[in-house]
Structure 1
Amino acid sequence: MASVHSFKGTVLSSSLCELGEGISFEAETNTLWWCNILGKALHALDMATGIESIHPLPVMASVVARIDADTQLIGSDKGLFVRNRATGELAPYCELEPGNDGNRSNDGRVHPSGSLWIGTMGRTAADGAGAIYHVSRGVVTRLYDAISIPNSICFSPDAATAYFVDTRGNRLMKVAIDPSTGLPAGQPSVFIDGSADAGGIDGSICDANGHLWNARWGEAALDHYDAAGTFIQRYQLPASRTTCPAFIGNGRIAITSAWEGLDAAGRAADAMAGATFAVDTGAEAKYDPSYRL
């Protein structure tokens, strides 16, 4: 039987995001970044000092990725932007769905080739309104359509397998991809069938050994699966709507959460909803690469 660990971690940020998402650790600057999608803000936590800064945005950002020491890639409801770190200025890079104002971006991650996988969804999560895209040097390729809530985009350590899920159906998929480009080289198959389980399969990451770590929306949990998709263990968290994990080194994983959809009574009962946490898992980290312009 899989083991369950009660929360013995830390609260990295008590800034309560309506929809915390897109968390990533930048090893080059020892900084943890994440987005508050509905709050239109970019959060940064200096891991050395513990100082958090919050940067207001004119868009609903869901993905933040390193480009270089001066710039970052931002995925949002208005497409992709290059963010100037010093000024915060956003320069348009490319659109994902030109003319479609009914959608916004959601989960995404950079592949070791330097390309980006990113999903879109309806602003009100309409069935099948979204898609998953591959973006390489500004060229946008639609990979999968009729997606309701795209999540769990991550890649195996050898860069030859991609994972993704439509949280509405809760079947986490895997697909062979070209390690040199990040483009699919086969048809997706079911890796983890969570359709009969409680909670939603939200954001995921792969560790250096090919194990998958998933934030389980509604279950206050970070779930651990081995490379074959076998459920190993669960780490409980002090917020029910956990959204996205990121490795932060020394066996630790950071996890964002949300209070989206909770009424006043629900928020009172889930007081840490929207906070960002860390748990010690012993997992060997695999950090996201930089996006290549």
Structure 2
Amino acid sequence: MTGTIAGTTSETLPFAGGILCHVNSELGEGPSYDPATDTAWWFDIKGRKLHELHLGSSAKRVHELPFMGSVLAVIDPARQLIASDEGLFVRHVDGGRLERLGAIEDKPECRSNDGRVHQSGTLWIGTMGRSAEKGAGSIYHVAGTTVTKLYANVGIPNGICFSPDGATAYFTDSAVNHFMRVAVDPATGLPVGSPEILSDESGSPGDIDGAVCDADGLIWNARWGAGTIDVYRPDGTKLRRHAVPVTQPSCPAFIGARADRLLVTSAWQGLDEAGRASDVHAGRTLELGVAVRGRFEPAFRL
């Protein structure tokens, strides 16, 4: 069974936002927001850095990491979960101490990429080859310290997010560019059906990258290479597109006390000197500048 074939929109809405952080990350990714501390977090995967931005004060810190981190989730007020190329780690917020929780997979040629916590407190995390080798990665489900492989032979896992009721998961292999959906158990986050195509974007410009699902079930997707944030209905219809001033937006996250703002990471990875000169904001972290009905990320249940 397949879904909508590459929905089209009549226009791309102009960028109405601004720059939240002027640091040009090589591969900005994995943004998240902790409403308890009003703090946004994101990674520069290739730079091995974790960025911390307190929204109310604009206070900014950058934490050096001993690995390539890509996903961060709150465990409790004192601890965070980090997914990385060396496995899963617990990070202590006070001081940044790291404790290894366990492996994601036994493939040193791979690193972690896109992921998100399901409403059940479990994590979906994708892995990929360090040079994006075809079919080298997988998508996993992590419940506490139990890791279950869900899908193998994935090139670039992305787009992982969940419907508000926790009954549908969305994901993609950006190398294929089919946005997928699958029914999942709201209590566990495990699939209970077979994946089907939500939208076939294989013939469209740009790649499906990171995504979030808002309180109305709309999916906000960063379109790597196309310089847009695309908004889909749950049936796969493309509702609209928002332009961003970077060619390679990578992942969105809801931020703010009411989750009504959208942060977008980006990257300068792969751009030559001329490309970086023409894409001056590449790697910077943006705010889209439109009101959204977002949701706060659930905590990871350790």
For residue 238 of structure 1, give the secondary structure of its aligned residue in structure 2: coil
**Please, which of 77, 86, 103 is the counterpart of residue 95 of structure 1?**
103
Alignment of 1:24-103 (within 5 A): 24-98=32-106, 100-103=107-110
State how far apart, in whole Å, the 2-side matches of 1:112 and 1:102 are.
Answer: 31
Shift of residue 28, structure 1, vs aligned partner: 1.2
Tell me which residue corresponds to 1:188. Answer: 195
The question of 1:144 aligning with 2:151 is answered: yes
1:2 to partner: Cα distance: 3.6
Query: What letter matches 1:91 in structure 2?
Result: E
Residue in structure 2 matching 1:239, options 230, 243, 246: 246
The range that moved more, 57-66 or 261-270, is: 261-270
| In structure 2, C-alpha distance between the alignment counterparts of 1:115 and 1:232, rounded to whole Å | 29
1:281, CA displacement in angstroms?
A: 2.8
Unaligned runs of 5+ in 1: none
Secondary structure of 2:288's counterpart equals: strand
> Is residue 17–residue 290 contact of structure 2 (8 Å, CA) maintained in 1?
no
- 1:261 correspondence with 2:270: yes
Deviation track 1:148-196 (CA, whole Å, cap 9, x = no partner) reads: 0000000000000000000000001000000000000000000011011
1:286 to 2:295 alignment: yes
1:211 to 195, 209, 218: 218
- Please list the CA deviations of residues 113-155 of structure 1 after superposition, one character each: whole Å capped at 9, or x if unmatched: 0000000000000000000000001100000000000000000
CA deviation map 1:188-232 (0-9, x unaligned): 000011011000000000000101000000111111111211111
State the one-letter code of the partner of 2:46.
Answer: L
Secondary structure in structure 1 of the residue aligned to 2:76: coil
Which amino acid letter does the alignment assign opposite residue 56 of structure 1?
Answer: E
**Structure 2: runs of 5 or more not aligned:** 1-8
Aligned pairs, number: 292
Work out the CA distance in 2 between the residues paired with 1:3 and 1:206.
22
Separation (CA, whole Å) in 1 of partners of 2:222 and 2:89: 26
Secondary structure of 2:180 counterpart: strand
User: 1:29: Cα distance to partner?
Assistant: 0.9
Tell me if the contact between 1:118 and 1:132 (Cα under 8 Å) persists in the aligned partners: yes
Match of 1:198 among 199, 205, 211: 205
TM-score (norm 2): 0.95
1:36/1:187 CA distance change after superposition, 3 Å: same
Q: Secondary structure at the residue paired with 2:190?
A: coil
- 1:274 corresponds to which residue? 283
Instruction: Report the TM-score when normalising by structure 1.
Output: 0.98
- Which residue matches 1:135? 142
Secondary structure, aligned partner of 2:135: coil
- Tell me, yes or no, if the aligned pair for 1:3 and 1:232 is still in contact at 8 Å: no
TM-superposed deviation, 1:80: 0.3
The residue type equivalent to 2:224 in the other structure is W
Q: Structure 1, residues 222-280: CA drift from partner, whole Å, max 9, x if none?
A: 11111211111111111100000001145321100000011111111111100000113
What amino acid is aligned across from residue 50 of structure 1 in structure 2?
S
Q: Which residue of 1 aligns with 2:119?
A: 112
In structure 1, how many angstroms separate the alpha carbons of the residues matched to 2:242 and 2:33? 20
Tell me if 1:122 matches 2:129: yes
C-alpha contact 1:2 1:232 (8 A) present in aligned 2: no
State the Cα distance separating 1:288 from its structure 2 match.
Answer: 0.9
Say if 2:13 is the partner of 1:5: yes
| 8 Å Cα contact 1:79-1:96 kept in structure 2 | yes
SS at match of 1:67: strand
SS of the aligned residue for 2:46 comes to coil
CA-atom RMSD, angstroms?
A: 0.9
